[in-house]
Chains A and B, each alone.
Chain A
Amino acid sequence: MPPSLRLPSVLSSTPCGAHQLCRSTGQSSRPFSTTLRHDHRVTRARRGLFRWLSLQGENFRNPLSGSTNYLGAYDNRSGVLRRVQEAELRNTLERQNGEAKPEKTGEQSAEEKSKIPPEEPRDRVPFPQNKSFLSQAVLSEELREEIWSRVMKEGQSVREVSVTLRVEMSRVGAVVRLKEVEKEWKRIGKPLARPYAQAVMSMLPQTPFDPSKPDAHGSHESINDLPVHASTGQQIFHPTSESRHFTRLDAAKVFNKRLLPADDRIPHPELVIQHRERVIDGLTVEERKERAELRAAEAEEKRERIAAKQAAAEARVKKIDSGRWEFRFTPINADDAGKDGRGHRGIGWRYGVPLYDRSRGQIKIPKSVG
């Protein structure tokens, strides 16, 4: 990594950066300074810097448009894009192997020479020292627009859009919300930072979307990852009998009695069911469709039942607006407290029961959150 430069303006303005920089930094801007001029000394690091500037550094003075231009994409020795180097090598090998082939290949190679091969995951290393850090693709403008239109115009569910476009559900939700904000800003005439967005997007890897071929859309990310639950972080030695059929269902119960099994905690359990029906059960398309509809209907019924229950509970609450506050009267049954008034379903402060909240050793802060 080169050290930071003192005079970046010199670098950008002059064609031959290295020598000019040597001279200009050698002259101190403070003529009466008594400090030693270490700038004059030509150290190894300094030589390395200028070598880097003349090789790889040249690439970043006029960055390649339409490319991420990460440091890791360039070869260390020659300072040329690795993918370009490899393509050339491949071409020469091909030429050596099949020289007798028709001229058509010659024409093709001429075209290909002018074109830079597409980026590979290897070229997405912004920090060459950290090989395991790969810059992940972001959603392209077209794909975000498509997500918004599918959810808001076509009325598809977030789950559905997530599966078809292979984007996480939370991300789909975020895209829809932000798109709504953007459209609202456009409506009221608030200026958008378009040039900034374009500049940033041109420097990032993107997941493209072609509106003419919506079915050929690739995957943006893994959508069915199991979220890590705090209860599953512990290592448990749980002895069971050999004859016992110990499944994920049992494993979840061992971790936490209220923990759902992994099959139910994944974001898209329906994908697993569909796969099982297709591969293991070998059902026909019609049968699978029928079952999917049945499942959807069941889910809808359950959702409606819960919504109706909530609405009924809400309707029972009498709301009175007093100007500053809203008073909410919830009906209760005083008999719930039982004959002695100490029943656990009774409401209000209880009588004749000591409250230990001020005594020693009582933990008041929550032990678990969520």
Chain B
Amino acid sequence: MVVKIRLARFGRRKAPFYNIVVAQARTARNSKPIEVLGTYDPIPKPPADGEGKPFKDIRLDTARAKYWLGVGAQPSDPAWRLLSMAGLLIPKYRPSATPTPATAASIIPEASVSADKGVNAVV
């Protein structure tokens, strides 16, 4: 069975809160996962000093995420988006242009090596 890195929606109605989890693909969304890698709060918080942009809080264990990517866990699209922002993966969808190995390499130094191999995960 496939092991996935995905988001589990908790929280309340109109107040979502996600656990970033490693789980078997066919288990229920909010069932007990193999491991909780972190959390994602999608509700933007106003900046503390009143200056700058509102922020979204993400807590992530990068080392464990790298491990699970290394052993072949497959991130879902939202999880891919977060992990690529954390610098663990090449971005799948870019708003402006399609990713090329060259642009990815400029963001992540190790990405150029893995892109040659045809593997997206940077371990």
Contacts and interface: CB of A to CB of B under 8 A. Distances in A.
Contact of A330 (B10, B17, B58, B87): B58
Given A326-B55, A348-B59, 6 more contacts: A325-B44, A325-B55, A327-B55, A327-B56, A329-B58, A347-B39
Interface stretch (A114-122, A219-227, A247-255, A333-341): A333-341
Contacts of B60: 329-332
- Shortest Cβ-Cβ A-B pairs, 3 listed: A349-B10, A334-B61, A326-B55
Interface string B31-57: 011011111000010010000111111
Contact of B85 (A327, A337, A352): A327
Contacts of B58: 327-330
Interface of A: 318-322, 324-334, 337, 341, 346-349, 351-352
Contacts of A352: 32
Contacts, number: 75
A347 B55 CA distance: 19
Contacts of A351: 32-33
B61 A328 contact: no
Q: Is the interface of B mostly helix, strand, loop or mixed?
A: strand
Interface string B4-22: 0000101100000101100
Interface of B: 8, 10-11, 17, 19-20, 32-33, 35-39, 44, 47, 52-62, 64, 82, 85-87
A327 B61 CA distance: 15
A304 to B, nearest CB: 21
Nearest to A346: B36
B10 to A, nearest CB: 4
B38 A328 contact: no
B12 to A, nearest CB: 8
A41 B86 CA distance: 89
Contacts of B44: 325
B38 A326 contact: no
12 contacts: A326-B52, A326-B54, A328-B58, A329-B60, A330-B57, A331-B61, A334-B61, A346-B36, A348-B38, A349-B11, A349-B19, A351-B33
A337 B36 contact: yes
A274 to B, nearest CB: 35
B17 A325 contact: no
Contacts of A318: 86-87
B53 A334 contact: no
Contacts of A321: 53
A334 B38 contact: yes
A338 B86 CA distance: 24
A346 B38 CA distance: 9
